[in-house]
Structure 1
Amino acid sequence: MFVALGQFYRRWRDSERLALVLHAIALVVLFSTFCALFNVLLLPRSTTPIDALLVEADAWLGYSWPELTSWVANYPTLNAILRAIYLVTLAKLYFALMFLAMVLDRRRLHGAALAMSMAAIVVVCTWAMFPSAGASAYWLLDPEIDRIVGPVVGSEYGAML
């Protein structure tokens, strides 16, 4: 629908700016749908998740998810900032695409859209070859820490994985 609207505004309304915005929205919607479907088709995984290996690598680097969340629990403002940054990441990417479309910067718009699409494909393919459920599926946080930090993907969700 967004592609058709974009073509309408490009051909009959002579509004290249709006056409680019609508085409950028169409790309995001269609590509996100494709990636989500591809991700679901990869489930259930027949190979063993690599979470244990990742936790071991984290330990070699001195990183521990439970220790980090316990530390962040002591700093509510930092916790709120980190949570907000995480939650708006995709929105910032979409806003950047819309901005490039609005200023009619086709070269950068197409480059950004291609980079975002290729990065998503690489991430999904990497996960297909090396599945990982993430820290929340491997570590069970103290309920009080889980409540204070309120991770986007918490221990309750991790238990379901």
Structure 2
Amino acid sequence: MRPIVPSEIGSVVNMFFLYRGERFGVGIILAVSATLAVLVAQGQTQIVWDAFINQFVFYGIIMVSGLLLRCRGWLPRTSLTLVAVGFFPIFSSVTALTGHMMFPLQRPLVDETLFAIDHALGYDWVAAVTWLADYPQLSTIMKYVYLSALPQLLILLIVLGVQGRVIALHRMVVTGMVAGCLITLFWSIWPSFGPSAYLDVPDEVIARAGLLVTPDYGAQLMDLARNGMERIEKHQLLGTMAFPSFHILMATLALFFARGTWLFWPYVMANSLMIPATLTHGGHHLIDMPGGVLLFVCSYAISRQMLPQTAQAGCATTPDYPTTATA
């Protein structure tokens, strides 16, 4: 692989000199971390940091390794990739902890309104799950499609980094981070859990469908809403936010930024089932689906403003964005 010339990525002279998108990413992580610190100080819930420290150290080492390569001027595409792969999971963990610190809920759940929209559109989650149980092989495929959302993003991060598509990579990362912040803020005001927290499904149907999100899972969420948590450990982190659907946001994010890479058509095939998979295995309301797409549109619009096509990195000694970049 030929090295990237300065016109493509720019000169790197110091491990602390970050791209504009990386600086935004670090800034977002620090802002969410500050919010988490305030919630921890004011709340009664304790975080068992020992359960998370290994993960933070692991991804921190990945990020620092990328910066060290950049400091030496070695393997610029590898450096670009390592930094992105390092701080994106850190953001995800900090945001998940922030969301869990909001329990017990101080505002009423809005699922009743979402159920009314489901009814108006003719959607019934129990009926959908019961139908899916009659096709166990299809249900298994959809389950793995649902579980593939985050791995798709991590693979795409690596591909964009290896290809040296700097602005596309950073817009993707910043879009995902902005979306995580927006959905957490939205959910703190209008929380929802989805149908699984309210509706019963026969055990036999759950078993045949191999359902991921079950009424038992929904019962855990309702208990969190009422009683909160005394301690948060890693294994206790649950997917809690129904509207808008973050899974649909991730699928849209993957499809949009996979354009122009060899991943695009495989992602089209995989994500063709993401909506029914999210509705059934994810235990979502129907309105959560367009909500996830709208979340992407808003987040991407913000990332484009933060990282315009001709954006410079911000100082003379920091890498500049190539003006030929796309996405």
Q: Same fold (TM over 0.5)?
A: yes
* Alpha-carbon distance in structure 2 between the residues aligned to 1:10 and 1:58: 51
Q: Aligned residue for 2:117?
A: 57
Q: Aligned residue for 1:124?
A: 184
Q: Aligned residue for 1:102?
A: 162
Alignment of 1:31-110 (within 5 A): 31-110=91-170
* Alpha-carbon distance in structure 2 between the residues aligned to 1:27 and 1:4: 10
Unaligned runs of 5+ in 2: 1-60, 222-327
What percentage of aligned pairs have identical amino acids? 29
How many residues get paired? 161
> 1:5·1:22 contact (CA, 8 Å) conserved in 2?
yes
Q: Aligned residue for 2:82?
A: 22
Corresponding residue SS for 2:64: helix
> 2:111·2:193 contact (CA, 8 Å) conserved in 1?
yes
Question: Which one of the candidate residues 217, 220, 234 is aligned to 1:160?
Answer: 220
> 1:24·1:97 contact (CA, 8 Å) conserved in 2?
yes
Letter in 1 for 2:70: R
Letter in 1 for 2:79: A
Q: Aligned residue for 1:147?
A: 207
* Alpha-carbon distance in structure 1 between the residues aligned to 2:218 and 2:133: 19
**Cα offsets for 1:35-70 (capped at 9, x unmatched):** 112111221111111112211110110000000001
Corresponding residue SS for 2:185: helix
Letter in 1 for 2:165: D
> 1:17·1:101 contact (CA, 8 Å) conserved in 2?
yes
Question: Which one of the candidate residues 187, 193, 200 is aligned to 1:133?
Answer: 193
Corresponding residue SS for 2:193: coil
Q: CA deviation at 1:13?
A: 5.6
TM-score by length of 1: 0.94
Q: Aligned residue for 1:4?
A: 64
* Alpha-carbon distance in structure 2 between the residues aligned to 1:135 and 1:94: 29
Q: CA deviation at 1:150?
A: 2.1
* RMSD, matched Cα: 1.3
> 2:135·2:209 contact (CA, 8 Å) conserved in 1?
no
Unaligned runs of 5+ in 1: none
> 1:146·1:155 contact (CA, 8 Å) conserved in 2?
no
Q: Aligned residue for 2:273?
A: none
**Cα offsets for 1:60-102 (capped at 9, x unmatched):** 1000000000111111222112111100011101111111011
Q: CA deviation at 1:31?
A: 0.8
TM-score by length of 2: 0.47
Q: Aligned residue for 2:242?
A: none
> 1:51·1:138 contact (CA, 8 Å) conserved in 2?
no
